Amino acid sequence: MDVHSSNVGLMTGDACYNQEAAILIMTTEILHSILFKGSQLLREVKWVIFDEVHYMRDKERGVVWEETIVLLPESVKLIFLSATIPNSIEFANWIAKIKNSPCHVISTNFRPTPLRHYLFPSGGNHLILVQNELRKFQYNNVKHALESINETDNTAEPKKKRRFKEDSNQLTNQELDIKKLLNLCISSKYLPIIVFAFSKKEVENNAQIFCNLDLTTEQEKIAIEEVYNSALEIVSSEDRKLPQFSTHLAYLRTGIGVHHGGLLPIIKEITEILFQENLLKILFSTETFSMGINMPARSVIFTGLQKFDGERQRMITPGEYTQMSGRAGRRGIDTRGYSIVLLTSKYKEEQLERLFTGSALMLSSQFYLKYSTILNLLRIQGLSPMFIIKKSFFKFQLGSKRLQLEEDLKDLNKKIANLNVPAMYNTVFYNASNVNEDPDKIKLDERILLMLDTTNYDLAKYSIETYLEMGLSDYYAMVNANLNNFSSALMMPTFDWLSGKSFSYICSTYKLYEGTIVRSFKRIEEVLQEACSVAHLLGSTSLEELLIETLKLHRHGIIFTSSLYLVE
């Protein structure tokens, strides 16, 4: 669908286009904001489609999705799309309950383009099939692959030590495996390929291995340079000198792309456009390229199965593997897709079986009550914090769990009765369990007033802010830990940016990833916008005007240039 069509509009935090269109594409955060502002637009909305609704399980963004679904009027029809919600029936029951309307689940395991799954053992020379198009798991092949791994350390995915490179030809064992595997895929005509790694540094290192590889024709090189030069017209001459531009042009000309969160948005968009036009043959990426982007390849490669999730190093889940491997196989182009895992460590057979055949994680609510939500709800007639809490998916799932626990409790009491336990102990056990009979009898003790600093017991007892699960002493310990980990690395860059300094100046002065700076500055914009809304709700005109002026100072330079998708 052409975004420049008169029937289609776009609304994001960065850009707005054709807001009066019949079809509006927007982020969930924008719709969430519209719901609280009571826009005229809502009266005309008939349908809302939530793509990738499994984002509800995201710790940071999930609460926004959940609140948006709850707050949408019952008159609006809803469609939810996802490939990774195993408890879709439970989700549908929740929707049916809060919207007073049936919710139908339509599911299929059919893939238009069949997918084959392979392992490539470290030190090996050929691919080993582990799951065919019919999704039959090949136990003997997996056993053979694990036995053939050439390694001395049998722990799962040990951290690779990089040797000092005296020349560009000296590679680590893993880099040699990646080079061998990609050369095999090139000779087997498996291009285009997405190579997934789980760190920005590894992505950059993998791309560097193939800096001398040339996969494009002269005609394709001309087309790549035309797209690239056209995109740079919206970038200032000073910012064009940033190292990312020259480095990535050299990669792109040879048909190789790099995509991760540490890149400038315009670099990522150039890469996406070229990949979509089939001008890139190999794309080295983090999992950013598997979420929210419909750009499949013929094959995908996993350079490892371990990732850091912000808290710990762990093996990727079946759902994450499904999401990323799902990029393989182009509908109407390929007869089949190929997903290949570079196996550098000896996992257990059960771990690999679970990875390839297991289901995604259950969709669990990440709902919590935010101060901004409370303020917004209190100013809207007919709504209250209690309204959104009682309709939340969290409350719904809690009720379902309670019913199951009650059944388990009955079974336990029957077993105790059959054991001839003395009456006194039986009675004590029964009385202690009575608290489960009424969901309102929730033991919050000192935690009850923690989040809202209020004597409103009814609201506090239903609130499920995450730190309500801990005592006050634990909460203060958590706050102190966060303060101890506080970093001031971005204070001076932010001050210089608000003072009007260019992005090029910020990057040359402070040794930070360009993408890290961009993400931080974007987050600052979100916080300023939210603070501005709160100031408006509180009626503090002077504070609101100050925040608006700060936003104007903040929005400048390459970070806030128009998206290439909106440039005609």
Instruction: Inform me whether the pLDDT recorded for 230 exceeds 90.
Output: yes
At 466-512, the pLDDT tens digits run 333 444 455 556 556 666 666 778 889 999 999 999 999 998 898 88
- List pLDDT tens digits, range 26-68: 999 889 988 887 777 788 899 999 999 999 998 888 999 999 9
Same domain, 454 and 330: no
Q: Do 68 and 39 reside in the same domain of the chain?
A: yes
Domain assignment of residue 146, yes or no = yes
pLDDT of residue 168: 45
Please check whether residue 396 lies inside any domain of the structure. no
User: Is the CB of residue 559 less than 8 Å from the CB of residue 518?
Assistant: yes
Please check whether residues 136 and 209 belong to one and the same domain.
Answer: yes
Q: Does residue 204 sit in the same domain as residue 247?
A: yes
Q: Pick the more confident residue, 514 or 178.
A: 178
The tens digit of pLDDT for each residue in 73-87 reads 999 999 999 988 999
**Which domain-ending residue is among 479, 506, 540?**
479
Q: Do 101 and 127 belong to one domain?
A: no
* Residue 264, domain CATH: 3.40.50.300
Q: Is residue 383 part of a domain?
A: no
pTM for this structure? 0.79
Indicate whether 404 belongs to any domain. no
Task: Answer yes or no: is 401 within a domain.
Answer: no
Q: State mean pLDDT over 253-276.
A: 92
The count of structural domains within the chain is 4
Q: Using a CB cutoff of 8 Å and minimum separation of 24, what contacts does 68-72 make?
A: 68/28, 68/31, 68/32, 68/35, 69/95, 69/98, 70/98, 70/388, 70/391, 70/392, 71/32, 71/35, 71/36, 71/388, 72/35, 72/48
Read off the pLDDT of each residue in 189-215 and give the average, rounded to a whole number.
93
In a domain, 324, yes or no: yes
Q: Mean pLDDT for the chain?
A: 82
- Within 10 angstroms of residue 513's Cβ, the number of other Cβ atoms is 17
Least confident of 50-59, 345-354, 435-444, 519-528: 435-444
pLDDT per residue over 283-334, tens digit each?
A: 999 988 877 677 889 999 999 999 988 788 999 999 899 989 999 999 889 9
Element (H, E) at 313: strand 313-315
Residue 452: per-residue pLDDT: 36
Do residue 139 and residue 197 come from a single domain? yes
pLDDT at 544: 92
- Do 243 and 312 fall within a single domain? yes
Instruction: Give yes or no for residue 165 having a pLDDT over 90.
Output: no
Query: Residue 476's pLDDT is what?
Result: 56
Domain range holding 78?
8-107
Percent of the chain exceeding pLDDT 70 equals 82
Instruction: Say if 209 falls within a structural domain.
Output: yes
Largest CA distance in the chain: 89
Q: Which residues contact 161 (CB under 8 A, 6 or more apart)?
A: 172
